[in-house]
């Protein structure tokens, strides 16, 4: 979600995160690769933490994996 301060400052761009999707179905770690000002990086991190998924399975076991997440912010 766009923050009001980012909207007023007309900030656009993309937040890129590296995350570990845990074997328990939760996002375990998040590393910011590319951030944006005015609370947009935090908004992207909050969105990433809310992801729910079925873990990957390898040899019959649930496993953790790294994924790159991209959150574009554009004003229309």
Q: How far is CA 2 from CA 11, 41, 56, 62, in A?
A: 9, 10, 31, 34
pTM of the prediction?
0.91
User: What are the domain boundaries of the chain?
Assistant: 4-73
Averaged pLDDT score across all residues of the chain: 96
CATH number for the segment(s) 4-73: 3.30.2420.10
The string of pLDDT tens digits covering residues 20-44 is: 999 999 999 999 999 999 999 999 9
């Amino acid at each position: 979600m766009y923050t009001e301060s980012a909207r007023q400052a007309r900030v656009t761009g993309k937040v890129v995160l590296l995350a570990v999707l845990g074997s328990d179905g939760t996002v375990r770690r998040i590393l910011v690769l590319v951030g944006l000002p005015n609370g947009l990086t935090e908004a992207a991190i909050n969105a990433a933490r809310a992801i729910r998924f079925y873990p990957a399975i390898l040899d019959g076991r649930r496993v953790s994996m790294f994924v790159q997440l991209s959150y574009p912010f554009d004003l229309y």
